[in-house]
């Protein structure tokens, strides 16, 4: 599916297609209009439609196109801010409300998935808060007491998280947490909303929201939606730019995912105590047809910071990968397949090495294009999935692979002794990488020159990483595409 919150593809987006909807073409009248088609908006619409209300859902992007498609989908009552801090700010009753609401949300998702027969990989798992940094067992004991006062009386301190390969030290165990596939869940909600008479429109921007009887939403297309009630479910409200916006700070988090053998890591939710902290879960691997693959994805996140206060995303990803590899030996030989701005996944559709071999054939300066995967030498032309035949024109060669349009312009020719008479080689002088259609563009990460080679590492992000990144090492470790122009 396509996202409107970034230019890369999350694990969820890469394995699930969601239905597409059209914009509004006329004024509408309804009981309830829900603004936002993420998990909050579609859950609200589902419950209202089940109660017999006429519901209209609008979103200025695709359904699930924002945070919902990029969450790591931890369904948990273990809160980042700690219950003892919530209790200090909002009292014991406030902490109870927080605990009850989170556990209720897990139960509700499980109930809806069961009732609507939504196959969304929902799994009840144990959650573990374990020590990191300078934190001690006393910090866990303090949170244990606070969770019990908040009504989570089944939490307990255990000696370690259930990993045979890593002694985490003591951890606070949260029973009956859950994981799921958020976009599979959304797909089931959409089906149920439409069945119960709800209407969904995408590509509809709410330009103006006015309270009243009825309330009115004016779209950028000039159409007006009149509703008895309007529910704004847009992560942060778009109908009031003061009350919430002046009290919150936006944060960016980073996530990688690595292939691990099935059963190598026990399923669960895992978080450490530092700030910023790390968070971990497992997800079964499958292709878009739903066919289960022979490995699992270890999803590791962390390195949070306030948005705008760091400009080198590569450093954060490398720290996160290093942290994960130090603790998960089964992932050490695995390709880290996920990499993105908020929920990151490298684009496996792009081969690791693309090499152009140049020879003079008539008026053409480039005659052969070779594409090889990781660990392969581009010694001869090979057929590659999702690629087109190279187009040769004068001193230029171009090829499309997946959604990347790659072209190279050669410099002046130079003759070299060869076993094949008449073979002449060309040194690459310029390389152009661009996106095709609406797919994500590729940022050039770095270049590396040798006497006869120009190598360029590219990643599926709009912001280029630091220029000192080592392209070959990273291309092998995190699955980035590597473009190589090589003289014959």
Q: Which two tokens stand for residue 71?
A: 């969450």
- 1 in any annotated domain: no
- CA 363, distance to chain mean position in Å, is 46
**Residue 5 maps to a domain:** no
* 398 and 277 in a common domain: no
Cis bond before residue 71 (omega within 30° of 0): no
Same domain? For 215 and 141 the reply is no
Q: Which domain holds residue 51?
A: 28-72+183-247
Give the whole-angstrom CA distance, residue 150 versus residue 76. 15
Q: Using one digit for the tens of pLDDT, what is the confidence trace for 136-180?
A: 999 999 999 999 999 999 999 999 999 988 889 999 999 999 999
Number of domains in the chain: 3
Residues 324 and 362 in one domain: no
Task: Please indicate, yes or no, if residue 9 is contained in any of the structural domains.
Answer: no
Per-residue pLDDT of the chain (488 residues; tens, 9 = 90+): 555 656 667 889 888 889 999 999 999 999 999 999 999 999 999 999 999 999 999 999 999 988 889 899 999 999 999 999 999 999 999 999 999 999 999 999 999 999 999 999 999 999 999 999 889 999 999 999 999 999 999 999 999 999 988 889 999 999 999 999 999 999 999 999 999 999 999 999 999 999 999 999 999 999 999 999 999 998 778 877 677 777 778 888 888 888 889 888 999 999 999 988 999 999 998 887 778 888 999 999 998 888 877 767 788 888 888 888 888 876 644 443 333 222 222 222 233 233 333 333 333 333 333 433 333 333 333 343 444 555 555 545 555 544 455 555 544 433 333 333 332 233 333 444 443 333 333 333 333 333 333 333 333 333 333 333 333 333 222 222 333 333 32
Domain with residue 281: its CATH number is 3.30.9.10
Of 247, 266, 284, which one is at a domain's C-terminal end?
247
CA distance to 8, 240, 442, per residue, from 399 (Å): 21, 48, 15
Q: Which of 339, 372, 407 is the last residue of a domain?
A: 339
Let me know whether 367 and 465 are in one domain. yes
Same domain, 403 and 333: no
CB 76 within 8 A of CB 127: yes
My answer on whether 201 and 269 are in the same domain is no
| Helices vs. strands in the chain: H and E counts, helices first | 6, 24
Alpha-carbon gap, residue 462 to 479, rounded angstroms: 17
> 444 and 433 share a domain?
yes
Q: Contact 19/187 with Cβ under 8 angstroms?
A: yes
CA-to-CA distance for 331 and 298, rounded, in angstroms?
8
Token pair listed for 419: 């076993």
Residue 96 lies in a domain: no
Return all residues near 410 (Cβ < 8 A) that are at least 6 apart: 358, 365, 366, 395, 396, 397, 426, 427, 428, 429
Q: Report the DSSP beta bridge partners of residue 357.
A: 368
- Name the domain boundary from 228, 247, 266: 247
- Rounded to an integer, what distance in angstroms lies between the CA atom of residue 57 and that of residue 231? 9
């Amino acid at each position: 599916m396509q996202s409107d919150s970034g230019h890369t593809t999350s694990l969820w987006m890469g394995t699930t297609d969601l239905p597409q909807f059209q914009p509004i073409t006329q004024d509408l009248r309804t009981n309830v209009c829900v603004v936002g088609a993420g998990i909050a908006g579609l859950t609200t619409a589902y419950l209202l439609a089940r109660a017999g209300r006429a519901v209209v859902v609008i979103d200025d992007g695709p359904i699930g196109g924002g945070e919902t498609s990029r969450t790591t989908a931890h369904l948990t009552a273990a809160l980042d801010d700690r219950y003892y801090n919530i209790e200090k700010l909002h009292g014991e009753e406030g902490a109870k409300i927080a605990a009850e609401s989170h556990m209720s949300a897990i139960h509700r998702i499980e109930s809806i998935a069961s009732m609507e027969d939504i196959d969304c990989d929902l799994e009840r798992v144990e959650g573990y808060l374990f020590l990191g940094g300078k934190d001690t067992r006393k910090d866990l004991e303090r949170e244990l007491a606070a969770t019990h006062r908040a009504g989570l009386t089944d939490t307990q301190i255990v000696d370690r998280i259930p990993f045979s390969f890593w002694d985490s030290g003591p951890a606070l165990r949260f029973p009956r947490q859950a994981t799921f596939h958020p976009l599979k869940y959304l797909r089931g909600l959409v089906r149920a909303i439409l069945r119960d008479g709800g209407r969904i429109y995408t590509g509809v921007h709410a330009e103006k929201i006015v309270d009243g009887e009825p309330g009115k939403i004016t779209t950028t297309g000039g159409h007006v939606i009149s509703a008895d009630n309007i529910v704004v479910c847009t992560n942060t409200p778009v109908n009031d730019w003061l009350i919430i916006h002046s009290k919150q700070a936006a944060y960016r988090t980073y996530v990688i995912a690595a292939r691990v053998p099935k059963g190598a890591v026990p399923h669960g939710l895992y978080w450490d105590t530092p700030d910023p902290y790390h968070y971990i879960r497992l997800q079964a691997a499958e292709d878009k047809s739903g066919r289960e693959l022979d490995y699992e994805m270890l999803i590791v996140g962390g390195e949070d910071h306030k948005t705008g206060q760091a400009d080198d995303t590569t450093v954060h990803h490398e720290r996160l990968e290093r942290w994960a590899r130090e603790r998960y030996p089964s992932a050490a030989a695995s390709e880290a397949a996920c990499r993105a701005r908020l929920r990151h996944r490298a684009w496996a559709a792009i081969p690791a090495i693309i090499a152009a071999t140049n020879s003079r054939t008539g008026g053409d300066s480039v005659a052969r294009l070779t594409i090889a995967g990781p660990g392969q030498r581009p010694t001869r032309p090979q057929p590659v999935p999702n690629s087109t035949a190279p187009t040769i024109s004068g001193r230029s060669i171009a090829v499309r692979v997946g959604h990347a349009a790659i072209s190279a312009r050669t410099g002046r020719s130079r003759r070299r002794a060869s076993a094949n008479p008449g073979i002449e080689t060309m040194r690459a002088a310029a390389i152009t990488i661009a996106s095709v259609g609406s797919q994500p563009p590729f940022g050039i990460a770095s270049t590396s020159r040798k006497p006869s080679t120009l190598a360029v590492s590219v990643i599926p992000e709009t912001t280029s990483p630091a220029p000192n990144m080592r392209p070959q090492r990273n291309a092998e470790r995190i699955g980035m595409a590597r473009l190589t122009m090589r003289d014959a």
